[in-house]
Structure 1
Amino acid sequence: VIGWTRGAEALLGYPAAEVVGRSAALLLTGPPDARRTAAVAARCRAGSGWSGLVPLRARDGRSLDIDVRATASFLIAGREGFLVSGRELTPHWTMRGSVLDDFLTRSPVGMAVLDPDLRYLWLNDTLERFGGVPREQRLGRRPSEVLPGALAAPIERLMRQVLSTGEAITDYEYLGWSWSDPHRRRAYASSFFPLADAGDRQIGIGYMVLDVTDRWNARRLLALVNEAGASIGSTLDVQRTAQELADFAVPRFADFVFVDLLENPFGGDRPGAPAPAEGERPAMRRAGMSSVREGCPEGVVRVGETVDFVPPPHDAHFLLDGDPVLLPALDPDSHGWTVEQPERAARLREFGLHSLISVPMRARDTVLGLTTFMRSRNPVPFDEDDVAPARELVARAAVCVD
């Protein structure tokens, strides 16, 4: 035994000083079973682990049925080691659907054990899924060898800090990508803590990761909307409000934004403006436009000019529905662009515009226009998480425009 936790002491009664450095056979109620031990070790080396019911002797002489799980095989100081955990069998602690097995392998929290050189010794299924890197490609390697560099570098720096200070770091939040889903940004909260033996010698580091993307998106949306409240709608001038919306979104949210307002708003309490016919494009006027490039060279029309843009293959009827259109990947060679909007297709190619969200501007069931957000220099495409912020920004401006 090279390490003994307080939980093990509470379970069996032996303090660490009486167990560490001695054979684990002293915990057994009977003689060791060499064949069974070899089979358990082989399963751990293969990465599948082992669990089973083992009668163990407590310090006070009692025999306890312990649900034991061996979950890893790794090297420490040149010798093979195993991570073994257990709990007394109770009516709620059965071999079928072991709570410990669920906790370690199917927990929503990603977990890993690394040696002092920051090489993976063990990880659970959740962490394997988070990173998108197969377990066998991680074991024996450092995070920087299997994860994107921008993601791995700060993680390794914090791990070394934990090893040098002996103090845990909790709730370190960062944005990252996974090899399994490289185009979707995720937010993670990680904790790092030192692992030590009974002699308080460091033998590695523990690593826990929680996906907090929903929490991060909610916080980002709240911050964006709060900030927008001070920047959009400073006056009741329609064109100025449209320009404030475009200016606010670039580059916080998009690389190119244009706001087109209907010549004649329709729907709601606007009896003089009937809805457009099937297949008809609405008559609009460019009211605001902003870009990360000086002069907005991506724009086909200038502010103040008429425009009839709706994202292919839609027509004006999608404005009535009010739902945003998300096009994560734009294909300028598709029929909708090359045939229906060839000039815009040329701008997509020239400036690398690759992703789009178009949000109808509505207030009191009245359709006022359309705001379109596009990305080019930002390589991350828009996804479902970006629709809510886009909708909120447009809704903020719609109140003033109405």
Structure 2
Amino acid sequence: MPSDRPGGVDADTPGPIRSEPGSLLEHVSVAVFGLDDEERVRYWGPGARNLFGYRAEEVLSRPASILFPDPAPETPGGAAQLVERGRSLGYWRVRMPARHRETGVFDCGFRVFPVTGAAGDSVVMGLASRGDELDRVKTNLVFLDALFETCPIGLVMLDEGLRYVHLNQVLADMDGVPVVEHLGRRMTDIMITSDGGEYERMLRAVAEKGEPLVGALVGLRTPGRPDRDQVRSVSFFPLSGAGDTRPGVGGLLVDVTDREQALLEATAARQRLDLLDRASAQVGTTLDLDTTARELIDAVIPDFCDGAVVEMVEWMYEDERFDPALPLTTRRIAADTI
């Protein structure tokens, strides 16, 4: 944490200090400063210049009141409140108005706490960030919490080994496996497919090559629902691994079993209608029996079956009634396979 002491070297450097990499706070500027018991500025980090607009030599050893708007009569100023509460409470978090040297008053979030050095001198250290940036992070956190709690589709976060790190209850219900029993297990241990490893290869491509996967259909079973075949529409995307956080994969999963079953049934019905339509147009173009049999074979292969045979019953007497108990003689007049 770079800082300046009175008489020391100016540590002002371009760019603000930011919070821990990889978190939602990564892009929130953080000002670091220190106040003594006389409410004077004793430490001034690089981010403080960006937040308040003062260089180190302009504020060190000066009253910290210049960082705050004038208080109401008989009301302690912002610096006095930070020092008093930091000392008495040991840690204090507050939102209050602050003042930038050029742009004026703005809403600011503070965290203060006392720090004692090796020589026994003590200061109240402060961390400060713009209120609108903190509100943006808070909004993002609320949105993410609501997303995992109320989103009606399955949501999952996997590490780079494709192991469960986080998932919502919707996905756990789809799997028939409690959330806690997912964590640390590989996704392919829960979503069991019979596709020769193609599903896992798709996940690997997302994790290792950063190739998003959108709307792929996967047939599977799960340990929690071993007697139910499912079809899911899955979309996966790489997680950035910003800063020192581990990379991984995020995913959205929708159970489309009923939709796909209805689609298959509708497709089969259309195929049957198409077959009947083609057969009515192709079969019976002549009165020749052999030609008609050949036309029938051509109409059903390959859309309806892989092979077909047309056989004609040989009747000894045309007026004889059919008796299934009697021997039946047939003559093959057409046949084919693909």
| TM-score after normalising by structure 2 | 0.44
The higher radius of gyration belongs to 2
In the superposition, the TM-score normalised over structure 1's length comes to 0.38
